Amino acid sequence: MTQYVLMNPGPINVSAAVRAALNKEDLCHRESEYFDLQDSVRRKLLDAFQLDKKDHAAVLVTGSGTAAMEAAFSSCISPAGRMLVIKNGVYGERITKICAAHGIPCDCIEAGWTERPDMDAVRSKLKTGKYEVLAAVHHETTTGLINPVKELAIAAREAKVPFVLDTISGLAGEELELGANGPDMAVCTANKCVQGLPGVGFILAKRSMLARMATFPPRTLYLHVPNYFEHQEKRSTPFTPAVQIMYALDVALDELMAETLRGRIARYKMAAKILREGFERLGLAYLVKPEWRSNTITTLKLPSGRTYDQLHDGLKARGYVIYAGQGPLAKEAFRVANMGLISEKDLRAFEGHLRAVIG
Ligand SMILES: *Cc1c(COP(=O)(O)O)cnc(C)c1O
């Protein structure tokens, strides 16, 4: 099978070393060797994102990003609590679906899918004292729009409302304050900008938030964050983790630290710049304003007379996998992501292939 250049927003192209990690020894997850691996991954997550073990902890959850997301958002609120959700894309909407599935009442601050939320509306809602959690998505993968996370964190702190952030497609791709002034809980995954493989998500949480959540009754058996946290703190695991994916994440974190977080973000920024210069020469139109665009996803209007399937199939024949628009944007837009290990040569060659396919 051809090794495609993956320009979808995860799973991404990984290094040979990350892929080779899958071939390490078979391992029982109740032996000390597994707990050494689990401890190593949890420590490297704090180191890679410059967090202090005194104040923060990493919690690993086996499953796709949505498993970590559902764990975080269903575990962060008391039985009587109400959530305020920022909704300007598919993933903000997914938070509301998680609330619905778990019987958590929520209200939304809605914005158009290429717009940012009205911060005055957020602040005045938070001031009502009705909310126990503010929930938002850092990088709306739907469009490649970056939400105003810093302002949201300030608004939440001023209202003394915990802030829980889905940064699944943002972490290691965008600048993000994660320390004392950051979100109380950040939800992430191994197989986007962290450059690991799909199957493990993780949560970077303030210990104060983890202690607060431990007082709430579990809403689910598998996805209760305090259960994972308690077990992982004492070198245990409640269920069978994706052992091989954890091996790969351990290597991916070494690579991230070798590249440095700043270096990784700068590489993605440069990759997006290379691609966007090409899109401009091709006369393609963006959906998101330049100042709100992420470093890793570009949403473009489909050129007139071309369907997504034509672009996708033409590019796939040339070795590149692009991504469709989502929801209401499916018919009018397509997405090009630059997460993962993509060579500069492949990035630069993309313009010519896209030109040929557009015709
Ligand atoms: C990818 C993604 C998810 C999770 O998707 P999975 O398919 O479950 O891994 C959640 N939120 C955002 C913002 C994402 O980009």
Question: If you average pLDDT over residues 68-72, what whole number do you get?
Answer: 98
Q: Judge if the beta carbon of residue 141 lies within 6 A of ligand 1.
A: yes
What does the pLDDT look like over 157-184, one tens digit per residue?
Answer: 999 999 999 999 999 999 999 999 999 9
- Say whether both 77 and 137 belong to one domain: yes
pLDDT category at 344 given cuts 50, 70, 90 is very high
Question: If you average pLDDT over residues 213-225, what whole number do you get?
Answer: 98
Q: Judge if the beta carbon of residue 91 lies within 6 A of ligand 1.
A: yes
Question: Residue 1: its pLDDT value, please?
Answer: 83
Q: What ligand 1 atom has the least distance to the C-alpha of 140?
A: 13
Q: How many domains does the chain have?
A: 2
Q: 243, 258, 273: which is the final residue of a domain?
A: 258
User: Locate tokens 């946290």: which residue?
Assistant: 229
Question: What span, in angstroms and rounded, lies between the C-alpha atoms of 292 and 210?
Answer: 31
How far, in Å, is the centroid of ligand 1 from the Cα of 68?
9
- From 6, 69, 94, 140, the mutation candidate for ligand 1 (largest count of ligand atoms within 8 A of CB) is 69
Question: Residue 156: its pLDDT value, please?
Answer: 98
Give the CATH number for residue 318: 3.90.1150.10
How far, in Å, is the centroid of ligand 1 from the Cα of 189?
8
- Type of residue at 167: T
Residue 34, pLDDT > 90, answer yes
How far, in Å, is the centroid of ligand 1 from the Cα of 93?
12
Q: 192, 226, 258: which is the final residue of a domain?
A: 258
- Say whether both 253 and 279 belong to one domain: no
3-state secondary structure the chain: CCCCEECCCCCCCCCHHHHHHHHCCCCCCCCHHHHHHHHHHHHHHHHHCCCCCCCEEEEEEECCHHHHHHHHHHHCCCCCCCEEEEECCHHHHHHHHHHHHCCCCEEEEECCCCCCCCHHHHHHHHHCCCCCEEEEECEECCCCEECCHHHHHHHHHHCCCCEEEECCCCCCCCCCCCCCCCCCEEEEECCCCCCCCCCEEEEEEEHHHHHHHCCCCCCCCCCCHHHHHHHHHCCCCCCCCCHHHHHHHHHHHHHHHHHCHHHHHHHHHHHHHHHHHHHHHCCCCECCCHHHECCCEEEEECCCCCCHHHHHHHHHHCCEECEECCHHHCCCEEEEECCCCCCHHHHHHHHHHHHHHHC
Residue 2, pLDDT > 90, answer no
Length of the chain: 359
Question: What span, in angstroms and rounded, lies between the C-alpha atoms of 168 and 194?
Answer: 9
Residue 72, pLDDT > 90, answer yes
Lowest mean pLDDT among 19-33, 67-81, 317-331: 317-331
Question: What span, in angstroms and rounded, lies between the C-alpha atoms of 183 and 152?
Answer: 9
Give the CATH number for residue 183: 3.40.640.10
- Say whether both 46 and 110 belong to one domain: yes
Q: 216, 238, 258: which is the final residue of a domain?
A: 258
How far, in Å, is the centroid of ligand 1 from the Cα of 230?
25
Question: What span, in angstroms and rounded, lies between the C-alpha atoms of 152 and 166?
Answer: 13
- Say whether both 160 and 183 belong to one domain: yes
Residue 328, pLDDT > 90, answer no
Q: Judge if the beta carbon of residue 196 lies within 6 A of ligand 1.
A: no
Q: Percent of the chain having pLDDT more than 70? A: 100
Q: Sheet containing 333-337: which strands, arranged edge to edge?
A: 297-301, 333-337, 323-324
Report which of 331, 339, 329 is spatially closest to residue 114, judged by C-alpha positions. 329
- Say whether both 82 and 229 belong to one domain: yes
Nearest CA to ligand 1 atom 5: 65
- Type of residue at 159: A
Residue 103, pLDDT > 90, answer yes
How far, in Å, is the centroid of ligand 1 from the Cα of 32?
31
- Say whether both 273 and 129 belong to one domain: no
How far, in Å, is the centroid of ligand 1 from the Cα of 66?
6
- Say whether both 196 and 212 belong to one domain: yes
Question: What span, in angstroms and rounded, lies between the C-alpha atoms of 261 and 86?
Answer: 27
Q: Judge if the beta carbon of residue 10 lies within 6 A of ligand 1.
A: yes
Report which of 135, 94, 144 is spatially closest to residue 114, judged by C-alpha positions. 144
Range of the domain at 71: 16-258
Lowest mean pLDDT among 24-33, 272-281, 328-337: 328-337
Q: Judge if the beta carbon of residue 137 lies within 6 A of ligand 1.
A: yes
Q: What ligand 1 atom has the least distance to the C-alpha of 141?
A: 15
Q: What ligand 1 atom has the least distance to the C-alpha of 138?
A: 13
Q: Judge if the beta carbon of residue 308 lies within 6 A of ligand 1.
A: no
Question: Residue 327: its pLDDT value, please?
Answer: 85
- Say whether both 264 and 234 belong to one domain: no
Q: How far does the chain reach from its first CA to its final CA, in angstroms?
A: 27
Question: What span, in angstroms and rounded, lies between the C-alpha atoms of 42 and 250?
Answer: 9
- Say whether both 276 and 218 belong to one domain: no
Pairing of strands 333-337, 297-301: antiparallel
- Say whether both 235 and 349 belong to one domain: no
pTM (whole model) above 0.95: yes
